[in-house]
Amino acid sequence: MLSRAQWIAITVVGAALLAVPSTMAALDEPFYTSLIARILVFAIAVVSLDLILGYGGMVSFGHAAYLGIGAYAVAIPSYYGIDNGYLQLLFAVGGSALVALFIGAVSLRTSGLYFIMITLAFTQMLFYLGVSLEEYGGDDGINTNRSEFASWIDLYDDATLYYFVLACLAVCLVFSYRLVHSRFGRVIRGVHSNEARMQAMGFPTFRYKLTAFVISGAMCGVAGFLLANLTEFITPEYMQWSRSGELMIMVLMGGMGTLFGAVLGAIGFIALEEFIPDILDLFGDGLGQHWSIVLGPLLVVLVLFARGGLWGLLPGRKP
């Protein structure tokens, strides 16, 4: 299903990502290892959003909720001295799935603008819940330990953490790729294309959409789990609505309904976020904080001239 150019891109980007920790160590720039790890974490979240947004046509404007839940699944147990990574990962995935089940069961009864607004509203509720949890730092946030796995997976070692994140991304990508090409994935794409037709064929579409929504939420919970480990600090801001918007921008940048584009979208967006302010500051003091002045027009250009996003620039195989 992938074209030659796409395979080459995956191989090149994959190889480059594998080489990051040793290269950065050699260059004595460890900051970039953690920056790229951060990109990979967001790539997981973007892949999860792309599953329902790109393939299912479900415009969830509240995906940051699961990022937050996954992060709190590390911080809250850690606060009580439970640093067991397996348990925390279980909390992250299970908690996100449960919340997605609830939000999806309500919001998927609507569509279009209503769906967008309801997913946004639920996420705002979770955001304010986070703010009100004084015990866990409220809106100041709270520090956390990194998760503990088997002795050979020491997440306090930056290279190990990096490869752990990379492995999670690879698993999510392979799983998602299989998913969208499976019978289930076909139904999700079919519902996006023509829901009335799918129902007339005998598919109870709500059940399929809800399942996809839960899978997507759970996967995004994994990203939250990793984000907490990366930053060793949790704040309700992970769940802010602007974060949900950023995830959507990354999906668009990478190319909707492409999965692998998610990685490019995350790289593109976070690189812009990181470097444009520095470049702007060269032109005038304080210009850097207005970096979205550049982001906005760039997005417009992308949507106008490259509908398939960055991934769409690669020659694909015709269906």
Partner 1 sequence: MSEALLEVRNLVKRFGGIYATDDLSIAVQPGEFHAVIGPNGAGKTTLVAQLSGMLKPDSGSIWFDGHDITALSTAERARLGLARSFQITSILKDFTVRDNVAMAVQARQGHSFRFWRAAHRDRSLIDPAEAILERLSLSERADTLAANLAHGEQRQLEIAMVLASEPRMLLLDEPTAGMGPEDSQWMASFLEGLKGDYSIVLIEHDMDTVFSLADRISVLVYGRAIASGTGAEIRSDPEVRRAYLGNEDA
Looking at 208, 225, 260, 311, which residue binds partner 1 (CB under 8 A)?
A: 208
**286 contributes a contact to partner 1 by CB under 8 A:** no
The distance from CA 228 to its chain's CA centroid, rounded to whole angstroms, is: 13
Q: Give the Cβ contact number of residue 116 at 10 Å.
A: 19
Instruction: Give, in order, the Cα–Cα distances in Å from 222 to each of 60, 97, 162, 276.
Output: 17, 11, 15, 29
First to last CA, the chain: 8
Query: Nearer Cβ to partner 1, position 84 or 211?
Result: 211
**211 contributes a contact to partner 1 by CB under 8 A:** yes
Q: How far is the CB of 273 from partner 1 (least distance, A)?
A: 33
Q: How far is the CB of 206 from partner 1 (least distance, A)?
A: 9
Whose CA is closest to 296, among 240, 238, 241, 253?
A: 253
Residue 146 per-residue DSSP state: P
How many residues bind partner 1 (CB under 8 A)? The answer is 28
Looking at 6, 145, 205, 240, which residue binds partner 1 (CB under 8 A)?
A: 205
Looking at 24, 89, 166, 187, which residue binds partner 1 (CB under 8 A)?
A: 187
**233 contributes a contact to partner 1 by CB under 8 A:** no
**Contact string (CB under 8 A) for partner 1, positions 91-120, x = contact:** ------------------------------
Instruction: Give, in order, the Cα–Cα distances in Å from 17 to each of 105, 225, 272.
Output: 38, 20, 18
Which secondary structure element, helix H or strand E, spans residue 315, and what is its range? Answer: none
Is residue 96 a contact partner of residue 74, using CB atoms and an 8 Å limit? no
Q: How far is the CB of 73 from partner 1 (least distance, A)?
A: 24
Q: How far is the CB of 114 from partner 1 (least distance, A)?
A: 20
**Ranges within 1-30 binding partner 1 (CB under 8 A):** 1
State the Cα–Cα distance between residues 6 and 3, nearest whole angstrom: 5
Binding site for partner 1 (CB under 8 A): 1, 178-179, 181-187, 189-190, 192-194, 196-205, 208, 211, 319
